[in-house]
Structure 1
Amino acid sequence: MKDYFKYDYYRMTEEKYKKSIKSTCKLFFNHQIKFMYLWRKNSYKNSFITKLRIHRLTKKYGLEISTAASIGKGLYLGHPYNITVASGVVIGDNVNLHKGCTIGRENRGKREGVPKIGSMVSVGINSTVVGNITIGDDVMIAPNSFINIDIPSHSVVIGNPAQIHKKENATKSYVNFLV
């Protein structure tokens, strides 16, 4: 738990986590850092008090990240309001989630299930990723995109319906401070 949180902290603050007054202040005053700390703590050691604190932050900021989701190290929450991640979703390392994005379940049809997202992926503002699909590594999902198809690695995805554009280093300068 502590190692994964240290990676999240580094990605969100550009500083290494150490027990200091500055780090403690960021932990208490930045709601995205506080949320990820509690989320990681709950995934390591499930406690009623931690769940209550997560529930409070969920109601206050709209951060609805299921404790049954699997999230790799180095998650970055950019402008973290109204972010939704469904249970069962698998997210790789060094992933950026931005304001209003939804990563959710499709309940019927040939894509019934939840997405699997690779490493070094940036999910833009108000984007939606749904269904039993796979998002490859190094993928940039543009703001306001709707994704319900598989996306190969090294791609930029734009619009609704999703249009895929191949591009090497698609997330360069977007996904920073890699762990």
Structure 2
Amino acid sequence: MFETFKKDYYRMTGTKFSLFRFLFSYITEHRVRFVYTYRKLQCINKRRYLSRLVLFIHHRHLKTKYGLEINPDVKIGVGLQIAHPYNITINNGAVLGKNVNLAKGVSIGQENRGGRMGAPIIGNQVYLGINSTVVGKVKIGDDVLVAPNSFVNCDVPSHSIVIGNPCRIIHRDNATEGYVGFLVD
């Protein structure tokens, strides 16, 4: 868990992990607090009831205060970066890859009927812009930039930019260059 969080920390702050920097960031930045509790809840021993309860209450407080609806059950790869951590919603069935950037107002939800019934699978090195929405059992490839205020309800190939509603897909190599930085393995 701690190695995963160190990679998340590097993506969020752009600095190597040290105890002093972590404590300072934990106190001053709620995105660091949220991601730390999220990762900790994912790996804490189920038999440690009191520790898990305290951590769960703290995580729940952060979720409520900042509108971050990301449960510990969501599968997110290493290098998670929450850029502007307010009003982000991710469905429990969604799967996010490595080096994913989430901006303010992002919604990743499921569709409850039809051919796209289910939750999205999002690849590696993906940037989801402000107020973008990804809905249904769709696959978003690697190196994809979803522009702000876009609505995605179709599969998106790798190396693409997605714009608008309905979504328009534009092929571009290095689509996330300049948007997804401080990549981790």
Instruction: Name the TM tier (shorter chain).
Output: over 0.9
* 4+ aligned runs moved over 6 Å, structure 1: none
**Structure 2: gaps spanning 5 or more residues:** 47-51
CA RMSD, 1 decimal: 0.8
- How far off is 1:28 after superposition? 2.1
Deviations 1:114-164 (A, max 9, x none): 000000000000000011110000000000000010000000000000000
- Correspondence for 2:170: 165
Percent identical across equivalent pairs?
51
Partner of 1:58, secondary structure, is: helix
Using structure 1 for the length normalisation, give the TM-score: 0.97
Instruction: Identify which of 162, 166, 174 aligns with 2:179.
Output: 174
Report SS of the residue matched to 2:58: helix
Worse overlay, 68-77 or 43-52: 43-52
Q: Which secondary structure does the structure 1 equivalent of 2:55 belong to? A: helix
Amino acid at match of 1:142: A
- SS of 1:24's equivalent in the other structure is helix
In the superposition, the TM-score normalised over structure 2's length comes to: 0.94
Distance 1:44 1:27 in 2: 19
Give the distance between the partners of 2:114 and 2:71, measured in 1 at CA. Answer: 23
**1:36 partnered with 2:35:** yes
Deviation at 1:23, TM superposition (A): 2.1
In the TM superposition, 1:130-149 aligns within 5 A as: 130-149=135-154
2 CA distance for matches of 1:105 and 1:66? Answer: 15
Return the alpha-carbon distance in structure 2 between the equivalents of residues 77 and 93 of structure 1.
Answer: 13
